[in-house]
Structure 1
Amino acid sequence: MYNEIVERFIKAQESAGAAYRSVASFERETLAGIAQHAHAVDVRSDYSTHRELESFCISLAGNVVNRARREFAPAGTRLDIDDATEREHAGLNIGEALDAGRVPDIDGLWASLHARYGGNGGKELAYQQAGQRIIKGFSLNRRKDVQRTASAVVLRLRATSEGCYGRSTRKLGYYSCQHAADCLQGLMAFAAKAGHQALAIGLGRLNVHTLEYSYREKRSFPGLDIVFFKDAWDFKFSHQIAEELMLFIGEYGAVFMEDQS
């Protein structure tokens, strides 16, 4: 499937090259009296054509890995896999194949991804990655005590904020955005797996790049309140949600938490 796309692209390059050479030849025959540099039709070099083909193959391979990220991840989360690592695991070296006059085996890349992440492979890895995001987000380890109150279990996310220009609200600082986004993504994966769809949807609507909030402002979701401070967000989970979250972390993040300890 993917290899045929490459083959058709190569044929399109060949057809286009032949068409441009024909036009260039006609111009030079028709306007034989003008200087070479004055001709309008330019024929691309073999080097330029080769670079275009290589760039196209790299882009197509990237689309294949993106497809795996979407199709093999469970709903409500994402699968973090690296393009270069997956190409290497599949034995796909695009430049080497093209230099040898072969069509890069991008079908083989998809087969490799399907073998690695199809079935439950991608789901298990995605949940493990979600568990790691939660652990890192809240700096959890086996020696850290979790704050418990009569009504909630409180986990703190370090999130440095800054004032919004011309307004009394605050927003996340640049270096805290990805940290907060990763933690929220992990929580969304947990909530979706645990069947708390409303919580997962609510967390998904928190765009860390555009979110503005006031000091000590509270945002409420089913089973969770988030309170915003200057340099932290407090996540106040109901006891039921907290218990399910700890089970999720225990199942998918235990090894990572041990490393953190």
Structure 2
Amino acid sequence: MYNQIIEKFIEAQHTARQAYLDAARFEREALAGTGTAEPFFAVGVRSEYRQEDELEKFCFALASNVVSRARREFAPVGARLDIDNNAEFDRAGLYIGKALKKGETPDLDKLWGSLSAYYNGDGGATTAYRQAAARIVRSFGLHRNAEVKRTASGVVLKKSVYSEAVWRSSRRRVGYHSTQHTADCLSGLATFAGKAGNAVLASMLGRINLHQLEYTSREKMSMPGLDITLFNDKWEFKFSNELAEPLMLFVGEYGQDAMQERH
């Protein structure tokens, strides 16, 4: 299917080039005898280099779309699945530039077959859960033996989240350098919540927009099984006992590689 798309694009390029050549020829014939010199004709024809460059860019864009499809289709419902384009190109033996220089069609159908073989079934889910567990481990410093505070009503984990003042307001917002790390943390927890069967919590975590969120110190966000208290330089996540146990089991099952990290 994808190879046919490329072939159709190449066919369109050839058709377009011929159409421009015909238009250019007609213009020159129509203006013959008027004294119009070559630099002043209006119809131009793209060089072969520009056409080859366009084809290569198209193939890379289409290949990226193939990987994006895998991210959507093979991720568990409501979860995030990170797949690196270049790593998947290598796994499938896809070298677009080399193929085009040989006059061959880059085999994007083979790329999709490779992605399907690796991520279909349990492959995508397992990978997504490992990635989510790794984000949780790193966010709370569990691989560095960070403090896990246990109370009668649950477990408290802390994450550094630096904030900055909102212009002309006493409220705060997540600082630029903390935004991505905090988003990763929330994403990891949302994936865990979905696997644990807490769809409401997963949805609420997924809807937090860090670019629009404004808060005051000690403000609290309450969700099913989880309270997040927002301080100026950290967030405290208090998990109920009912949620803390499956969270620890999730990290234990899928976060072992991340737990071995020591940096």
Measured against the shorter chain, the TM-score band is: over 0.9
C-alpha distance after superposition, 1:216-253 (max 9, x if no partner): 10110001110000100000110110111000000000
Larger mean Cα displacement after TM superposition, 126-135 or 115-124 = 115-124
| Match status 1:156 vs 2:174 | no
C-alpha distance after superposition, 1:156-195 (max 9, x if no partner): 1110000000111100000100000000000000000000
**Residue equivalent to 2:49:** 47
**Residue equivalent to 2:69:** 67
Aligned to 2:158, the other structure's residue is in SS state strand
- Counterpart of 1:12, as a letter, is A
**Residue equivalent to 2:14:** 14
Supply the distance in 2 between the matched residues of 1:161 and 1:75 (Cα, whole angstroms): 32
- Counterpart of 1:19, as a letter, is A
1:149 to partner: Cα distance? 1.5
Larger mean Cα displacement after TM superposition, 31-40 or 214-223 = 31-40
Aligned to 1:141, the other structure's residue is in SS state helix
Question: Which of the numbers 81, 99, 102 marks the counterpart of 1:100?
Answer: 102
Aligned to 2:237, the other structure's residue is in SS state strand
Supply the distance in 1 between the matched residues of 2:47 and 2:240 (Cα, whole angstroms): 66
| Match status 1:23 vs 2:23 | yes
Aligned to 2:143, the other structure's residue is in SS state coil
Runs of 4+ residues deviating >4 angstroms: none
- Residue identity over aligned pairs, in percent, reads 56
Supply the distance in 2 between the matched residues of 1:36 and 1:128 (Cα, whole angstroms): 63
Supply the distance in 2 between the matched residues of 1:255 and 1:129 (Cα, whole angstroms): 10
1:144 to partner: Cα distance? 3.4
Q: Is the 8 A contact 2:162 2:234 kept in 1?
A: yes
1:76 to partner: Cα distance? 2.0
- Counterpart of 2:8, as a letter, is R
Question: Which of the numbers 205, 211, 214 marks the counterpart of 2:213?
Answer: 211
Structure 1 residues 214 and 9: alpha-carbon distance in aligned structure 2, compared to 1, 3 A threshold: same
Supply the distance in 1 between the matched residues of 2:93 and 2:138 (Cα, whole angstroms): 33
1:142 to partner: Cα distance? 6.8
Aligned to 2:130, the other structure's residue is in SS state helix
- Counterpart of 1:65, as a letter, is V
Supply the distance in 2 between the matched residues of 1:83 and 1:254 (Cα, whole angstroms): 25
| Match status 1:119 vs 2:118 | no
Supply the distance in 2 between the matched residues of 1:152 and 1:168 (Cα, whole angstroms): 31
Question: What stretches of structure 2 of length at least 5 have no aligned partner?
Answer: none
Aligned to 2:142, the other structure's residue is in SS state coil
Superposition map of 1:113-192 within 5 A: 113-141=115-143, 143-192=145-194
- Counterpart of 1:3, as a letter, is N
Q: Is the 8 A contact 1:142 1:258 kept in 2?
A: no
Aligned to 1:259, the other structure's residue is in SS state coil
